[in-house]
């Protein structure tokens, strides 16, 4: 699709800033190519041509100067050194805290390499329509619009301040997907059906209402239980369902707010007496989170050790309208754990 280059010149503080941004963006892309997170030529072009700094006019970094002990870097800082720090930081391969409320992080711009991996796993094709849950800064919607075209991308967020700023950032960069203020747990019925649904916020469970908004052969990609679940839509004699495995990578996002605020994955409890080495293991904590409320933590440790410390890819989820469950190796096997049927 077109790159809207003429619109991307809307923000200028001078040729020096543009030169620095272009250089930093190219370095970010090279780094993602080198680490293997960006190997699709179409997505590489999107990351090369969608300017991330337009989507993060300010963000917070650790320090004493801002809310919650954070320092704010912004594009209009009169100090050229701090302004340069803002501009280069916008193209670091890391998440950026972009919105705080009472010291709590409520919105961020995700790590670009993780975004690239998620977009690759979404497996979009020309002509697909995509629903994004969690508008954030609008950067991810901009990448999707670059690849698919504005009219095929819908992004939803509960917070009107977030959707307003995302819409502004997108327009500044030359993109105009549909930006909706609403509860992402309910999807966006008026724009359905969708070929792909991608969430950029952590879910407690997969909202079952999304299933009916999916086209045949659709795919859902979402953060859940410190991992990323990739679900394919199918139909059988019992009706529509979604099923799939977790990806290898870990993932930590701001939680989804709205109807699914009631946790589908209860807070970890009763972990006293578990070996410290196990509790410090990322894979075991993933399993603890996934099975919380269904499996005693000590039983989870026994199973984890008996199954030779299974990687995330061995776990999966099945979602049906009335219920959903997590499983190890086989959705009909001996190791299954119910999840909350969020949104049903």
Closest C-alpha to 298, from 330, 328, 268: 268
| For residue 193, cis peptide bond before it (omega within 30 degrees of 0) | yes
| β partners of residue 318 | 243, 325
Cα 32 to Cα 35, 52, 111, 223, distances in angstroms = 5, 15, 11, 21
Name the catalytic one among 107, 110, 208, 225.
107
Phi-psi region of 325 (alpha: psi -120 to 50; beta: other; left: phi over 0): beta
Contacts of 343 (CB under 8 A, 6+ apart): 185, 186, 207, 208, 209, 210, 259, 260
107 has catalytic annotation: yes
Three-class HEC string of 263-287: CCCCCCCCCCCCCHHHHCCHHHHHH
Catalytic residues: 107
């Amino acid at each position: 699709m077109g790159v809207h280059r003429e619109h991307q010149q809307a923000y200028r503080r001078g040729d020096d800033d543009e030169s620095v941004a272009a250089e930093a963006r190219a370095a970010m892309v090279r780094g993602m190519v080198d680490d293997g997170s960006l190997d699709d030529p179409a997505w590489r072009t999107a990351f090369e041509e969608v300017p991330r700094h337009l989507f993060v006019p300010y963000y917070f970094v650790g320090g004493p100067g801002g809310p919650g002990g954070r320092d704010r870097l912004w594009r209009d800082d009169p100090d050229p050194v701090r302004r340069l720090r803002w501009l280069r930081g916008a193209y670091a391969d890391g998440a950026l805290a972009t919105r705080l409320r009472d010291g709590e992080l409520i919105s961020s711009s995700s790590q670009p390499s993780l975004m690239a991996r998620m977009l690759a796993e979404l497996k979009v094709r020309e002509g697909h329509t995509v629903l994004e849950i969690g508008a954030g800064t609008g950067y991810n919607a901009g990448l999707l619009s670059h690849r698919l075209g504005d009219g095929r991308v819908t992004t939803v967020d509960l917070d009107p301040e977030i959707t307003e700023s995302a819409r502004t950032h997108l327009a500044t960069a030359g993109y105009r997907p549909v930006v909706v203020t609403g509860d992402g747990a309910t999807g966006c019925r008026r724009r359905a059906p969708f070929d792909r649904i991608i969430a950029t916020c952590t879910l407690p469970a997969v909202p079952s209402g999304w299933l009916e908004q999916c086209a045949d052969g659709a795919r859902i990609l979402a953060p859940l239980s410190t991992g990323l679940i990739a679900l394919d839509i199918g139909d059988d004699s019992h009706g529509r369902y979604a099923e799939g495995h977790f990806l290898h990578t870990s993932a930590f996002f701001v939680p989804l707010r709205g109807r699914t605020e009631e946790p589908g994955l209860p807070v970890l409890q009763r972990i006293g007496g578990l070996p410290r080495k196990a509790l410090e293991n990322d894979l075991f904590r993933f399993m603890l989170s996934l099975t919380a409320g269904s499996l005693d933590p000590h039983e989870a440790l026994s199973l984890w050790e008996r199954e030779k410390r299974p990687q995330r890819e061995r776990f999966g989820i099945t979602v049906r309208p009335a219920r959903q469950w997590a499983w190890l190796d086989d959705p009909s096997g001996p190791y299954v754990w119910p999840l909350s049927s969020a949104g049903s």
